[in-house]
A and B are shown apart, each in its own frame.
Chain A
C-alpha cells in the first residue's frame, strides 16, 4: 500500500506520525489521545511533569506495549501489531530511562551486539564475529565516542552509573538507525557529562530524526527544533522553543514554574 512512499513522497512523509493514541492500564487512562507528527530530520523534545506519560509514549511507539487504540506510523508504515525487533529493523532505535544493558557481557560485547543486525549479520551461524575488522572497528569507534575505550573489556554491570548511561546511549546509536528516541539520556549525569553527551547526541543525530525526553530545560531549548509538552497523557502544546515558551497554557500547566525558577 505504500509503494509510493519510497520515492517521491518520502520527504513529505513524516518520520513519525501518531494519531489519537490511547493507553489504559486497567482503569487508569494514561495516554489520552495523543496526536503528534515529527518530520524526517527533526529534533523533537518531549517534556512534561513526572508521571505525565512520556515513557509510556515511547513504549507505545516502539512496540513495548500495544496501544489501547490509535495508530503510530513510521515513515508512513503502520506499526500496529509489530514487535519491538520488527520496528527496530525499520530503522528506529531507542534508549531507556532505566539503564537497560547486558550486565554480564563486556562493554565491547554490548556495543558489538547492538551492531550485528544493523550490519546485516542476522541469525547467521557461519560467520565469526571476531573475523570482521569492519565490525570490530565500528564497535571500537562507538566506544571512543562514548568515552568507554578504557573500559572495553569490563563487564558492563560493574561500570559506574554515568558510564552505564553512556553505554545505554552507545547501544542505541550504534546501529545507525535513522529515527532515534532517547528517554532522559542525561538523567543523573553531572554537568560536564551532560555537556559531553549532548554534544555526542547532536553529532550522531546529524540528518536523523531525534525524539528525546529531557528534564533539563537548558538542554531542551538548546537542541530541539520543536518541543511537545505532555501533561496527563495529552499534548497541550507543540511548537518551536520560542512558541512553547510563550504559550500561556504551557506556562500555566508546567513551564512557568520551571522558567521562573531558572531566572
Chain B
C-alpha cells in the first residue's frame, strides 16, 4: 500500500477503496430494473433517483455548509420549468438537441437563479439565511400564478420528451429508457457533488459551517464560501428538476413550493446530514415508504411525520448516523454482542408500534368510512371496526410490546456500552 513511485508528485486520483462504493452503486443501478421489471417499480426507482440528486444537493447547504434553507425546491422547480420549455422548443423548432443533455440546461438555469438569490441571501448564515430562503420560496411560488408565460399558471407546463432527435435509435418512449438516462445523471451528479466536497472551497464550506469567524482570519470570506456552495447546490437541484421534467413531462407550481422545500429538508435529515451518503439513504427510504405506505393506508403522512419527529429527537444523525455508530463495535469485533439485545428490545418495540398503528387505523376508519360500512381489513384480517374487541387487542398489544421493550432496554444499553469498550478497558 505504501508505494512511493518516483514519477508521481501527486497521490492517485482513483484508489480502489475510493472507487468501490461508486462501482457497486453503479452496478446496483444497472441490475435493479432486471430485478424489478414492472412499470410501477421503475417509476418508483426513477422518483428515487431524482430525489437522491435533490437531497444530495440540499445537503451541500445543510450538512456541508451549515445553511438551513426552507426554499431549496425553487432551484429544482426552476430547472424543471426550464427543461420542459426546452422540450417544447425542441419540438417546435426541431432543434437538434438530444434529450439526455437536457438536464444540463436545468442545472445551468438553477445555478443562474441561485447566483441571483445567493448574492444577497448568503451574506449571513443562521436565522437570516433561513428567513430569506423562506421568503424567496414564497415569492417564487406566488410568481408562478402571475408569470403565466413561464410557469403556466395553475396547470403548469407540459411537454413531450419523445420529440427530440433519437439517440442511437432510442426515443425515450419507454420507462426503462428514461430510467437509464436518470441513473446516468444520478451517478454523474453524485460523483461531482462528492468531488466538490473534496475541493478547497468544499473543505472551507465545512470550516465556515463550524466557525465562520475563524475562517475569515484564514483569508476566506465566509460569505463567498457560502455563495459558492449555494450556487453549486442550485446547479444540482436544477439537474434534479430537469430529470423530473423528463420523467413526468409536466412541471407545476407544486414542484417549487414550500411543501416541496420542506419535504427535502425532512428527507435529508432523515437520511443524516453528517455523512455524504446520508441523503441517499433518506431519499430511498422516504420514496419507498411514500409509495408503499400510501397504497396501504390513508394516514401514511402521519406515520412519516412520526418517523421524522422520532429521528430528530432520538437520532439527530439520521439513518447514516445510526449506521456509522456501529463502526466502533465492528472494528472491535464486538458487534455480535448487540444482536440478542437488539432482537429482545426492537422486536417488542416493533410489535408495540404495529399495535399502535392498528389502533390509529381503526379510529380513522371509525371516523371516516362511509355510513354503514363497518367492515375493515387490517394486517390481512377482516373485522368490524365498530366493535370494541379489535381496538382493545391493538391497544393491549401496543402496551405489552412497549412494556417488554422498556424492560429489556437496560440490557441493550449495557451491551452497547460493552460493545464500544475495547478489550482490556474497564469491564
Q: Which residues of A are interface residues toward B (Cβ below 8 A)?
A: 62, 64, 83-85, 88-89, 93-94, 96, 100-105, 109, 112-114, 116-118, 121-133, 136, 171, 175
Contacts and interface: CB of A to CB of B under 8 A. Distances in A.
B228 to A, nearest CB: 6
Contact of B211 (A85, A100, A121, A133): A100
Contact of B204 (A62, A116, A128): A116
Contacts of A88: 216-219
A113 B215 CA distance: 8
Contact of A109 (B196, B203, B214, B225): B203
Contacts, number: 107
B198 A122 contact: no
Interface in B196-221: 196, 198-204, 206-207, 209-211, 213-221
List 4 tightest A-B contacts by C-beta distance, closest first.
Answer: A117-B219, A121-B200, A102-B210, A84-B216
Given A83-B216, A105-B206, A122 B200 contact: yes
Size range of the interface on B? Answer: 20 to 34
Given A101-B211, A125-B196, A128-B13, A117 B218 contact: yes
Given A62-B217, A94-B217, A124 B201 contact: yes
Choose among B203, B213, B218, B220 the residue with the greatest number of A CB atoms under 10 Å from its CB.
Answer: B218
A114 B206 contact: no
18 contacts: A64-B213, A84-B217, A85-B220, A88-B218, A101-B214, A102-B206, A105-B210, A109-B206, A113-B206, A116-B200, A116-B203, A116-B218, A121-B200, A123-B224, A125-B199, A125-B228, A130-B198, A175-B218
Contacts of A128: 13, 195, 198-199
A103 B200 contact: no
A175 B203 contact: no
Contacts of B204: 113, 116, 123
A127 B216 CA distance: 21
A125 B10 contact: no
Dominant secondary structure of chain A at its interface with chain B: loop
B125 interface: no
A199 B418 CA distance: 43
A123 B228 contact: yes
Contacts of A171: 214, 218
Contacts of A109: 203, 206-207
A122 B225 CA distance: 10
Which of A85, A100, A114, A131 lies at the interface centre, i.e. has the most chain B CB atoms within 10 A of its CB? Answer: A85
Contact of B11 (A64, A104, A133): A133
Nearest to A92: B217
A82 to B, nearest CB: 11
B49 interface: no
Contact of A129 (B203, B220, B225): B203
Nearest to B228: A123
Contacts of B221: 83, 85
Given A123-B224, A130-B198, A133-B9, A112 B216 contact: no
A39 B11 CA distance: 42
B50 interface: no
Contacts of A133: 9-11
Nearest to A177: B219
B395 to A, nearest CB: 44
